[in-house]
Structures are given as C-alpha cells and as structure tokens.
Structure 1
Amino acid sequence: MRIISGKYRGKKLITPRGLETRPTLDRIRESIFNIISQRIANARVLDLFAGTGALGLEALSRNAGFATFVDNSREACTVINKNIALLQFEHCTTVIQHDLTRAGTLARIRPKKFDLVFMDPPYRKGLIDAVLENSEFIDLLADNALVVCEHGAQENPGINISKLDITDQRKYGKTQITFLTLNNAELIL
C-alpha cells in the first residue's frame, strides 16, 4: 500500500498484520481521487473506519488542510499514528479510537464541519447505514460536503437519509463506491 499522488507520491504505508483491516485497493483509491480532485485542496477530511488511514493520508498528500481519523481498533489507530508520523502530518491530524456505532461517538469529533468524508467499513455489516442514520452525522457536514462510501458491490446500503442525495455510484469488480451530498448542495465532482 502506498500514497498514489501528491507530495508523498510513492511513499509506502504501514499496514496492520492479519486480515481484520481491508485497505482500499490502489486502483480504486486512484479512481476515487480522480473523481473528487476538485474538492481536495484545503478540505477538512473525516476518514471513518479508517483502517490504515490511506484515504485521509492520500487527501493530505494532495493538499487537504486537515484530517480526522476514526477507527475502533487499537491496532489500526496505532498504524494510523505511525503512518501520520512517517509522512510528518502530526500538525494537521487527529486520531480517535472509538466505535462509530455507539451513541455519542460522532458528537466527540472535532472540528465539527467536514468538507470530505470517507467511509470504508467492513462489508455486509450495515455500518454505513448505522452512521448515516445517526442524527449527529449530518451535523458534521459542511454545506457542500461530499461523502464517499465504499461497500460491497452486492450490498445496497439503505442510504435513505432525507438530507443526503446519491450523486454518483461506481462499480469496481466486487467493490462499489457511492458518492453522497447534502440535498440541494452544489454538485462539484
């Protein structure tokens, strides 16, 4: 696993041992970042179910302004912190170890408004819906925020939140990427 583009292009990232963390494939990550390239500069990024932190770190390498990483695994948070130190992003990052499905987790996340949110939870566990249905989630989004959800191509997350619209979906083999914005938000992809 490596940073694909930007200031730290080609830099290898540390990954946790075992199969518990399933990092986004480089080619999928590259496709996502090609699609959202107009939204990255100075963005406040929230990387949920962060794993290695690859999505948020890629955004920082491409000039995002700040990133908050959230994962419930202690080992994943340790790896994220090591990757942050490797890329010298300590000044513009926060790492939170917490279970996103538990009440009150989203209220703890600061800063409060994010421009870009990545969600890459374990597949087939309903975790995207659990976060999106949490009333605190919408409060984390800036007016023109983009939410990028990675899930199994066979999954069809409910994503029936009245304040969010699906603006695009892309399929990459067994993986699907769903892009969401607030209703009536200016669409910039």
Structure 2
Amino acid sequence: MRVISGKCRGTRLIAPEGTLTRPTVDRIKETLFNIIAFDIPQCIFLDLFGGSGAIGIEALSRGAKQAVFVEKDKSALASIRKNLERTKLQDMAVIYESDVRAALDQLKNKSQKFDIIFLDPPYAMGDIESVLRKIAENELLYEEGYIILERSTNTLVSLPQNLVLWKEKTYKTTTLSFLRKEKDSENRNLSREF
C-alpha cells in the first residue's frame, strides 16, 4: 500500500494488523482519485472509518487543505498516526478517536463542513443508512460537497431524505457510490435505494 500521487507519491503506508480493516486496493484508489482529481486541491476532506488513513492521506498528498480522520480501533489509529508521520502531513490532519456517529455530532457542534466525505464502513456493518442520515441531518456538507461511499456491490442502501445518488462506479465486489445534496429542482422520484 502506497501513496499513488502528489507530494508524497511512492511513500509506503502501513495497514493495521488483523482483519478488522480492509484497505482500499490501489487500483480502486487510483480510479477514485482520477474521478475526483479536480475537486481535491484546497478541499476539506473527511475520512470516516479511517482504517490506515490511506484515503485521507492521498487527498492531502494531492493538495487537500485539511483531512479529518475518524476511527475508533486502537490499532488503526496507530497506523493513521504512523502514516501521517511517514508522509509528514500531521499538521494538516485532525484525528477523532471515536465512534463515527459520536464524531459526526462533535463535528456538527464545531460547525465543521466538508467538500468531500469518504466512508468505507466495514462491509458487515449493516446500518450504513444511519451514518448517511446523520451526515445529512448535521449539515456537514458544503452546498456543492459530496459523499463517496465504498461498499460491497451486494449491499443495498436506502438513502435518507435530502441525498441523491449522483454517479456510481462498480468493480467485481466493490462499488463506489457518489451522493450529493438533493436540489429543489431535482426529480424527487429518483430511486432512494441502490
């Protein structure tokens, strides 16, 4: 696992020990960042279920202004901190050692907003909808901001009110779903399940 592009290109990253985290493979990470490349410079990036921190670190390497990492697992948190040290990006990062839902409330209380929110929950988590709902309710996205959900292709998700599926990229077992705020002019009959 490595940083693919930007000022930290080629830096090797460590992954947490054990099977609790599932790092995004480099091929999918590269495709993801090719899709969002023009939105990265100077953006505020939220990496939920941070794992090794590889996604948020890739965003920082490519010019994001700040990345916020949320992770509760101690081994994963240690990996995020070591990877930020390796890339010398600690000054641009904020780490929440917390459950995702509690961190989303803390971010709301700080009036924090994001251009891009990336979430890669454990595939067995089951209740992705409640996290998406909390992001929407807490108004954590800037008006033109969006959410990227990495999920098992077999996982069905029901969207909360005010979020719509914008685009999607599917691989064999992994799907990247791009969500944004629903605009008043958009068709309200769009599917709320994907």
Mapped partners of 1:61, 1:128: distance in 2: 28
- Is 1:55 matched with 2:94? no
Identity of aligned pairs, percent? 37
1:137–1:79 Cα change, 3 Å? farther
The correspondence for 1:106, drawn from 104, 107, 112, is 104
Q: Hey, what does 1:184 align to over in structure 2?
A: 183
Aligned partners of 1:128 and 1:149 also within 8 Å: no
What RMSD, in angstroms, separates the aligned Cα atoms of the two structures?
1.6
Question: Per the alignment, in what secondary structure is the counterpart of residue 36 of structure 1?
Answer: helix
Q: Hey, what does 1:132 align to over in structure 2?
A: 132
| Pairwise CA distance, 1:119 | 0.2
Q: Which protein has the larger Cα radius of gyration, Structure 1 or Structure 2?
A: 2
1:85-123 CA distances to partner (integer Å, 9 max, x unpaired)? 11111111011111124xx43121256110011000101
Question: Per the alignment, in what secondary structure is the counterpart of residue 21 of structure 2?
Answer: coil
Mapped partners of 1:153, 1:106: distance in 2: 25
Aligned partners of 1:169 and 1:178 also within 8 Å: yes
Q: Hey, what does 1:64 align to over in structure 2?
A: 64
List alignment gaps of at least 5 residues for structure 2. Answer: 185-194
Mapped partners of 2:65, 2:164: distance in 1: 25
Aligned partners of 2:3 and 2:54 also within 8 Å: yes
1:55–1:111 Cα change, 3 Å? farther
- Is 1:166 matched with 2:169? no
Question: Per the alignment, in what secondary structure is the counterpart of residue 100 of structure 2?
Answer: coil
Count matched residues.
182
Question: Per the alignment, in what secondary structure is the counterpart of residue 122 of structure 1?
Answer: coil
1:117–1:46 Cα change, 3 Å? same
| Pairwise CA distance, 1:135 | 6.1
Q: Hey, what does 2:92 align to over in structure 1?
A: 92
Mapped partners of 1:118, 1:169: distance in 2: 14
1:12-34 CA distances to partner (integer Å, 9 max, x unpaired)? 10111111110001000111111
TM-score by length of 2: 0.88
Q: Hey, what does 2:141 align to over in structure 1?
A: 141
| Pairwise CA distance, 1:61 | 0.5
Mapped partners of 2:135, 2:121: distance in 1: 19
Q: Hey, what does 2:191 align to over in structure 1?
A: none
List alignment gaps of at least 5 residues for structure 1. Answer: none
Greater shift after overlay, 54-63 or 72-81?
72-81
- Is 1:25 matched with 2:25? yes
| Pairwise CA distance, 1:136 | 6.2
Aligned partners of 1:126 and 1:157 also within 8 Å: no
